[in-house]
Amino acid sequence: MRVAIDATPLSLSSGGLHRYTSELSRALAGNFPDDEFILISDQKFTGVADLAQGGAPRNGLERRWWLWGVQLELSRQHATLFHGTDFSVPYLPLRPSVLTLHDLSPWMRPEWHYGAARVRRRTPLLIRLGIATMILTPSEAVRKQAMERFGIPAARIAAVPLAASSHFRPIETAPGGDPYFLFVGTLEPRKNIPTLVAAWREVRKHHAIDLVLAGRRRADFGDMPPEPGLRITGEVAEEDLPRLYSGAVAVVYPSWYEGFGLPVLEAMQCGACVIASGDPAIAELAAGAAALVAAGDVCALAQAMTAAATFPDWRTALRQKALRQVQGFSWARTARLTREVYAEAERRFRY
């Protein structure tokens, strides 16, 4: 099998799509040495070590990437299957394809995705017309949502959970320093940052604990005026995240909606006390190893954060549950399950 993987998410500097594409590509190459994997995109992207790269439209015709350019590149690379990691596959079904549908947020609230008009129009057609041979989702919650919204037969869509990199592990932190709550993720409307800040302000009236917001700021995320105790770090280097997770009083992730919730898993794998929204995908991932509250309930979120600040035994219990829960996740498992979907796509395309 010679698989071309859409590397467009690797044109981003960080975020869940970038992490998914890079980690899955490495895991596939490492676990299936008899197969070949190529990263292709019509945009400049950061490569993955030991994986071949392609793309770069060569003329005006190829700049119509999803219609012509990708097909010519797939032929040049002798690819037998295409994996669309970013909501898309080639428009002409000349070979089997797998489309990862990360979540349904583009179709839920327009304000969550200011630049997703093309995805909103294109992806449902690729699914409903059968152009994407198989569909992947990162959770059973999204699989069920997608089946209901797009009328996908159960046999054509598979839930394959993600994983956290192996370097996410508990790190011993030096004593001292200001205590902090931590949010990690892209700063964007869907992540519900205003609710988090409002809850933290309530907690800070009684507990001198900072709030750290770590992640890339998206263009549609509003300005936040400075205030005592609020630290907005911007992007944090990958190698620094485990220490940041491990040192937090609690990692707080009150997102309105998720397809999986990778920062939650990363935090749990670092042995953090996690407080998150009760979104179905997060609840599926956490499985009782995180404190879950309603996304819009400032009072409930503040109460959970206060509990983390007040009761060390409660924090420790959640941390121990988290470390047990994450043992079932690995990129090797994700790669194996994804490879099974590739095989099913090839079988379906032939028959």
Q: Could you list the residue range(s) of the whole structural domain that residue 220 is in?
A: 180-328
Q: Rounded CA gap, 106 and 115, in Å?
A: 9
> Which segments in the chain show pLDDT lower than 50?
none
Kindly report the CATH number assigned to the domain that includes residue 235: 3.40.50.2000
Given this model, what pLDDT does residue 190 score? Answer: 95
Same domain, 211 and 62: no
Domain count within the chain: 2
- Judge whether 226 lies within some domain: yes
Same domain, 260 and 141: no
Handedness of CA 333, 334, 335, 337 (dihedral sign): positive
Element (H, E) at 74: helix 70-76
pTM above 0.75, yes or no: yes
Same domain, 78 and 189: no
Given this model, what pLDDT does residue 117 score? Answer: 85
Same domain, 52 and 125: yes
- Judge whether 172 lies within some domain: no
Element (H, E) at 16: helix 16-31
Same domain, 107 and 185: no
Same domain, 137 and 189: no
Same domain, 207 and 282: yes
Token pair in block for residue 285: 């991932």
Given this model, what pLDDT does residue 329 score? Answer: 97
Q: 3-state class of 37 per DSSP?
A: strand
Given this model, what pLDDT does residue 114 score? Answer: 78
Handedness of CA 273, 275, 278, 281 (dihedral sign): negative
Give the percent of the chain with pLDDT over 70: 100
Given this model, what pLDDT does residue 288 score? Answer: 96
Same domain, 155 and 8: yes
- Which long-range contacts (C-beta less than 8 Å, at least 24 apart) are formed by 196-199? 196/252, 196/254, 196/301, 197/224, 197/230, 198/298, 199/252, 199/254, 199/298, 199/299, 199/301, 199/302, 199/305
